[in-house]
Amino acid sequence: MSQLNLLELPLGVGFASTWMLGWLAAAIIPLAIHLLLKRQKVRIPWAAIELLRKVIHQESRRVRFEQWLLLFIRTSILVLFGLAVARPYWGSPESKSGRPKEPAKLWVLVIDTSYTMGYESQDGTRLQRAVERASELVRDASEEDSFLLLTLSNPTKALISKPVQSKERVLAELRGIELPEIISNIPEGLGYVDSLLQRVKQSQPRKRQARVVILSDFVQSNWKETLGKNKGSITAFTARHSTVLISFGVPNPKNIVVESLTCDRNSCIAGEQINVSASIFLVGNSQLSAVSVQISLDDEQVALEPIDLTPGQSAQVQFTVPIDKVGTHVIRASIPRDPLASVDQLSADSSRSMVVECRERQRILFVESEVNDSRMLQLSLTSGKPPSQRDSYRVIQTIELLSSDLDQWELIVANDLRFIDAPLLNRLRSYVQEGGNLILGLGPSTPASVWNDGIQTQNFLGFQLDVPSEEQAWAIDPLDYESPLTQPFRGYPDAGLLTTPVFKHWLIQQPDNRLIQDVGLVDSGPLITRFQYGRGWTACLLSAPQATNDLSQEQPTWNAIATWPSFVPLMQTIEQSFFESNMQRYNADCGSILEGAIRSNTPTDVEAILPNGQSVQLRTEQQSDGSFGWYLYQTQNAGVYRVQQGGASHAYSVNLIPVTEGSASWTDLADAVVPSDNAKEAQESQASATTTQLPPKEITSLTVQTLLATVFVLLLAESLLAWGFGRRVG
């Protein structure tokens, strides 16, 4: 079945193919033939006219009865055939049982507002058709019926949460439904409907039979778990509530999807180029050639490339985008719509954007306990970069942390701090919490007790220090190179990572669940960890890099990491990962919450400009540490959101989750609502008024078969009777 456009009449009888009812007009054919033949008579002179008159007089009643009987049978054949091809179904078990008057019902109208409901055909979008259908149901309902109205979304919302009888109110709410560009959370939504119904039933003194009508396109990827045979939640749902599923989707729609847009990095230095890769997916049956893919930077086209698309497959297209201007930029991949309107029924997913940041240079603050303690780290983070892109850095002593303005530094590198205390720790924690990045080397000089006491309540490391390990040659465990820090070493076992000399390191305890272990040591704990705290990140090297084995110092030798070839790429990757991670929050999915810090101790006005141009004042909340943050919840639509704070503007890119599958077929829906092995039970339970209704397909199939069998029997009877009545002149 390509599309389910069901017509359900108030009495509970409906037709799945309403337009096929036109066949009923064929019922006048026998009458027309009868009248036509009667007009086309021949004239014959006849001698035995008296004998004929007697025969006609004697046989007139019989002949008239036979004629009416045959006319009735022939008309019935055509009427029943017309009804059969219109695929009737019984909308309600009560009407089938022939009750004289149906009791008042509680209609629970659940309209899916996933963005895929925006698929557009000649009849409008799926949502428009669903709203129209729901409006019909409301108008056709009894005056005593009441209604609940929900939009199945993420989260699901009740537009009418208490039963109302005012049809005007329901129709007005239906007209006001808008389509966000998010994918509905079906299990959560059905759970919400379930709980709402429970509440309504408990609060309503007058018990009404509830009928849930779900109007959706039943997109497979979104409904997969819900419709899963024998385990899907829809089966349990329909077992509790009389449910009608009305689908507006088709298994194989026509659509071009910008499936993904990725950059090799989303943070760069001015003058660098960013490699952009877009994946284009074609949903449908027919191949397309020379489909233009447009890449734009800040709404200016920078590339346009035609590609060939094969149904069911992704096509990759790659571009290089040079960025010179410092600031945040929006890179967008899109399919120009106009020439593709006929093959792209859904425009929402034909575009995808991404925010990247271009910095003039990196600002790094090195904190030392001793002079030149961080020299190797300075070299590692600045080597290999052209002079114009070299990081801007400063080296301070530990004690200067208290007096320095840390906000101007994007990264603080502190290596094996000996003179650390609680106020300094608190300063670092605040820095990280507000979005700063910290690389921390923990070595022989690190006072474990001070650290553990300082981070006991607000742990921005993600663990507590235990004791130093035994001294031995620990082997590096790359942890399957799954971390972005170790990915550059994948396939290069001789690049130095695996042979990094580590003799001693800190063991950790009470690790946080969110602690990321990037590099480990075989038969021991982690060597490099990362942890997001607040809006910033902390990376810990549990064996602080030491440049030399200075015998004049009393410190024992823990490692030779800083002199090893893997050190420079490892440190630069850690640095890059911070900015990559920081930029991730500028790229979000529809429906997620955008948030940011207010860099002042008092709440200031933060304004957001939505993709549709609307300006909204953002909500600010005070954090547990006393700082303030802003939150943007209205991210239901894809596009670029610009947040303005104190004269500065920052772009956020919000994209929808691409859907590359069609809708569930009738079979899927029927199997899900009534699994085949439970079909008998469901049919038996259908007899009672409060149990699950069989899906229309099941009943339609049975009814159609019965009607067609009746048509066959009537055809046989017509032939026999016509022959018997002397219609067949030999």
Partner 1 sequence: MHLFRVARIVNRSQKYFDPETLAAIQPLSLRARTLVEGLVAGMHRSPQRGSSAEFAQHREYVPGDDIRQVDWKVFARSDRYYLKQYEDETNLSCYFFVDQSESMDFRGSQSPLSKLEYVQLVSCALAYLITSQQDQAGLVTYSKSIDAWLPASSSISQFDDFVHLFDQGAITREGSARTKITRTTDLPAAVHDFVTRLKKPALVVICSDMLGELVDSQRALSLLAHAGHDVVLLHTLDNDEMHFPFDQATQFEGLEGLPDLTTDPRPIAMAYRRAMQQFQQDLQVICRQQNADYFLLNTADSLARELPRILANRRRSTRN
46 binds partner 1 (CB under 8 A): yes
Q: Minimum CB separation from partner 1 for residue 68, in Å?
A: 12
| Tokens of residue 595, six digits | 């948030």
Residues 6+ apart with CB under 8 A from 336: 292, 294
37 binds partner 1 (CB under 8 A): yes
Nearer to partner 1, 58 or 487 (CB): 58
For residue 47, the tally of other CB atoms under 10 A from its CB is 7
- Using DSSP bridges, classify how beta strands 209-216 and 105-112 pair: parallel, antiparallel or unpaired: parallel
Of 583, 570, 584, 582, which is closest to residue 441 (Cα–Cα)?
A: 570
Q: Minimum CB separation from partner 1 for residue 48, in Å?
A: 5
CA-CA distances (angstroms) from residue 244 to 3, 87, 127, 694?
15, 16, 17, 8
Q: Minimum CB separation from partner 1 for residue 52, in Å?
A: 6
Nearer to partner 1, 70 or 244 (CB): 70
Q: Are 323 and 360 in contact (CB under 8 A)?
A: no
Q: Minimum CB separation from partner 1 for residue 58, in Å?
A: 7
Sheet strands (E) in 361-486: 363-368, 392-397, 411-415, 437-441, 464-468, 476-477
Q: Minimum CB separation from partner 1 for residue 711, in Å?
A: 24
Residue whose token pair is 């689908």: 247
Q: Minimum CB separation from partner 1 for residue 80, in Å?
A: 25
Nearer to partner 1, 62 or 162 (CB): 62
33 binds partner 1 (CB under 8 A): no
Q: Minimum CB separation from partner 1 for residue 40, in Å?
A: 7
Question: C-alpha 157: how far from its chain's center?
Answer: 16
61 binds partner 1 (CB under 8 A): no
Q: Which range touches partner 1 (CB under 8 A), out of 51-59, 225-233, 447-455, 511-519?
A: 51-59
Choose, by CB under 8 A, the member of 11, 28, 33, 54 that binds partner 1: 54
626 φ/ψ sector (left φ>0, alpha ψ -120 to 50, else beta): left
Choose, by CB under 8 A, the member of 47, 371, 522, 648 that binds partner 1: 47
Of 295, 299, 289, which is closest to residue 258 (Cα–Cα)?
A: 295
Q: Are 184 and 112 in contact (CB under 8 A)?
A: yes
Nearer to partner 1, 41 or 175 (CB): 41
Distance CA 328, CA 575 (A): 19
Nearer to partner 1, 68 or 419 (CB): 68
Site string for partner 1, 157-196 (x = CB under 8 A): ----------------------------------------
Nearer to partner 1, 55 or 290 (CB): 55
Determine whether 84 is exposed, middle or buried from the number of CB atoms within 10 Å of its CB (0-12, 13-18, 19+): buried
Of 157, 239, 241, which is closest to residue 197 (Cα–Cα)?
A: 241
Nearer to partner 1, 44 or 551 (CB): 44
31 binds partner 1 (CB under 8 A): no
Asked, as a colleague might, if the bond just before 30 is cis with ω within 30 of 0, I would say: no
Cα four-point dihedral sign 193, 198, 202, 206: positive
Nearer to partner 1, 50 or 168 (CB): 50
Distance CA 497, CA 509 (A): 25
Residue whose token pair is 């030779």: 560
For residue 42, the tally of other CB atoms under 10 A from its CB is 4
Residues binding partner 1: what is the number (CB under 8 A)?
A: 29
Q: How far apart are the first and last CA of the chain?
A: 45
Q: Minimum CB separation from partner 1 for residue 66, in Å?
A: 6
Q: Minimum CB separation from partner 1 for residue 49, in Å?
A: 4
Nearer to partner 1, 69 or 448 (CB): 69
* Subset of residues 542 to 581 that bind partner 1, contact rule: CB under 8 A: none
Q: Are 606 and 620 in contact (CB under 8 A)?
A: yes
Choose, by CB under 8 A, the member of 9, 29, 56, 713 that binds partner 1: 56
Nearer to partner 1, 50 or 523 (CB): 50
Residues 6+ apart with CB under 8 A from 269: 358, 359, 360, 361, 362, 385, 389
Nearer to partner 1, 41 or 101 (CB): 41
> How wide is the angle at C-alpha 84 spanned by C-alphas 82 and 90, nearest 5°?
120
Q: Minimum CB separation from partner 1 for residue 715, in Å?
A: 19
Distance CA 442, CA 448 (A): 9
Of 253, 258, 252, 251, which is closest to residue 315 (Cα–Cα)?
A: 258
Q: Which range touches partner 1 (CB under 8 A), out of 44-52, 196-204, 225-233, 285-293?
A: 44-52
Q: Which range touches partner 1 (CB under 8 A), out of 39-47, 148-156, 275-283, 463-471?
A: 39-47
Nearer to partner 1, 25 or 29 (CB): 29
49 binds partner 1 (CB under 8 A): yes
* Subset of residues 667 to 726 that bind partner 1, contact rule: CB under 8 A: 725-726
Q: Which range touches partner 1 (CB under 8 A), out of 35-43, 102-110, 426-434, 647-655?
A: 35-43
53 binds partner 1 (CB under 8 A): yes
Choose, by CB under 8 A, the member of 2, 18, 67, 487 that binds partner 1: 67
Choose, by CB under 8 A, the member of 25, 29, 55, 713 that binds partner 1: 55
Q: Minimum CB separation from partner 1 for residue 54, in Å?
A: 7
Choose, by CB under 8 A, the member of 25, 52, 236, 402 that binds partner 1: 52
CA-CA distances (angstroms) from residue 460 to 238, 438, 592?
48, 10, 24
Give the residues lining the site for partner 1 (CB under 8 A): 37-38, 40-56, 58-59, 62-63, 66-67, 725-727, 729
